[in-house]
């Protein structure tokens, strides 16, 4: 019998988006929607197991209302069991009450893996055991795999599944060794059939489909900023009785982020920007756009219509035009300043240095206007 697993993590429910005040509520709600999307994908594929490999929540002081909302979504899973591992954002240290409050609202299908012990999944009609390494703090110089090195695997289970949350060496950045770092070699030496990891917000392996790999990092199902350029995803994994593994990366996200920069010299360049922005699902695109360059006076005065169209065609846009300048030519200098005057002569001297010319022109014009 094939064991079908949907593997997710780093959902960070309750994450705030203060850097996007106008759309912060929508981005917060999108994380719940991404969890629902992942559940839906799991149900469509008849998964038996739904795994959250840490950081279901963004912090430990989540309100009860959010806990209930989360459990209501997880309860929509039509399979046999939901496994939840505490990560470094929603860690379990025995003092904070996050998971105690969570357990009060749990239903029978959801199992919290907050102890360093073997969890028997036969009670959920799954012939498997789960071996978790839950996080017990925000930061740690060492991982929590140690207990697994001191036990013998129970080979009476058809499948032995490991879950951990932390930086995977060579893949997840951890320059200060503060995030439960582990190596792939270390995981393989524990001889489990598969490892389902969380922490990094991109998927590992970095391929859409993989075969017979034992170590997977889920990535986040909903991107959370401009450094997260993917659409949000999870792993759909099929494990055969002979331990062959086939996995496929599933798209789950609601919004996506895009960071663009263009040099503008002519109107055609602005049209190219608009075309690029309109491509690739603009209605769910959160865009940071930087425009630079020097353009003729007429186009500079007319550029706002393109800016307005860019904003209208995206879910949200932040547009930096500070380096988009108007071309200063001799005709403009003569229109603004008397021929032979000091400003006129200075600006003509700077005609070959565009940046200095623009700076000097704007300063001289501002000073003159103030003295009128």
The per-residue pLDDT for range 221-234, each reduced to its tens digit, is 999 999 898 999 99
Phi/psi of residue 140, nearest 5 degrees? -160, 135
Instruction: State yes or no: pLDDT of 92 exceeds 70.
Output: yes
Dist. CA 232–CA 230, nearest whole Å: 6
Dist. CA 6–CA 204, nearest whole Å: 14
Whole-number Cα distances in Å, 100 to 15, 92, 110, 351 = 21, 9, 14, 71
Average pLDDT of span 289-297: 91
DSSP annotation of 140 reads B
Instruction: State yes or no: pLDDT of 362 exceeds 90.
Output: no
Residue spans per domain, the chain: 3-251, 328-372
Residue 56: other Cβ atoms inside 10 A: 28
pLDDT tier at 352 (50, 70, 90 boundaries)? low
pLDDT of res. 297: 82
pLDDT of res. 350: 61
The per-residue pLDDT for range 119-133, each reduced to its tens digit, is 999 999 999 999 999
Spatial neighbors of 273 by CB under 8 A, at least 6 apart, are 260, 262, 264, 289, 291, 306, 310
Q: Across the strands, what pairs with 51?
A: 7, 83
Dist. CA 190–CA 277, nearest whole Å: 48
- 70-74, 317-321, 336-340: which range is least confident on average? 336-340
**Measuring CA to CA, which residue among 255, 323, 261, 306 is closest to residue 283?**
255
Instruction: State yes or no: pLDDT of 267 exceeds 80.
Output: yes
* End-to-end CA, the chain: 86
Average pLDDT of span 271-286: 95
Please provide the average confidence, as pLDDT, over all residues in the chain.
92
**Measuring CA to CA, which residue among 6, 4, 189, 196 is closest to residue 85?**
196
- The CATH T-level fold of domain 3-251 is Purple Acid Phosphatase; chain A, domain 2 (3.60.21)
Q: Find tokens 């759309």 and name the residue.
A: 23
Dist. CA 51–CA 236, nearest whole Å: 10
């Amino acid at each position: 019998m094939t064991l079908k697993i949907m593997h997710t993590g780093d959902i960070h429910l309750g994450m705030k988006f203060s850097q996007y005040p106008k759309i912060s509520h929508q981005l917060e709600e999108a994380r719940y929607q991404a969890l629902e999307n992942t559940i839906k994908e799991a149900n469509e594929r008849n998964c038996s197991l739904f795994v959250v490999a840490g950081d279901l929540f963004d912090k430990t002081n989540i309100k009860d209302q959010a806990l209930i909302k989360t459990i209501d979504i997880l309860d929509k899973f039509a399979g046999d069991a939901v496994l939840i591992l505490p990560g470094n954002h929603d860690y379990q240290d025995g003092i904070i009450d996050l998971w105690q409050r969570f357990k009060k609202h749990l239903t029978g299908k959801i199992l919290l893996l907050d102890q360093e012990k073997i969890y028997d999944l036969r009670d959920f009609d799954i012939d498997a055991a789960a071996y978790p390494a839950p996080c017990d703090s925000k930061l740690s110089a060492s991982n929590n795999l140690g207990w697994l090195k001191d036990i013998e695997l129970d080979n009476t289970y058809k499948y032995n599944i490991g879950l951990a949350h932390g930086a995977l060496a060579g893949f997840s950045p951890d320059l200060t060794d503060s995030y439960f770092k582990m190596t792939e070699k270390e995981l393989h030496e524990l001889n489990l059939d598969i490892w389902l990891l969380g922490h990094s917000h991109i998927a590992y392996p970095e391929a859409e489909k993989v075969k017979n790999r034992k170590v997977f990092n889920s990535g986040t199902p909903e991107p959370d900023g401009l450094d997260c350029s993917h659409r949000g995803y999870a792993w759909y994994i099929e494990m055969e009785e002979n331990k062959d593994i086939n996995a496929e990366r599933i798209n789950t996200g609601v919004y996506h982020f895009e960071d663009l920069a263009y040099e503008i010299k002519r109107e055609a360049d602005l049209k190219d920007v608009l075309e690029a922005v309109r491509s690739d699902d603009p209605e769910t695109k959160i865009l940071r756009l930087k425009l630079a360059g020097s353009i003729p006076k007429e186009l500079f005065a007319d550029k706002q219509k393109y800016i307005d169209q860019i904003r209208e065609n995206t879910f949200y846009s932040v547009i930096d035009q500070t380096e988009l300048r108007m071309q200063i030519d001799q005709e403009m200098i003569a229109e603004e300043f008397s021929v032979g005057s000091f400003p006129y002569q200075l600006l003509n001297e700077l005609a070959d240095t565009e940046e200095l010319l623009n700076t000097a022109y704007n300063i001289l014009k501002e000073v003159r206007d103030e003295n009128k």
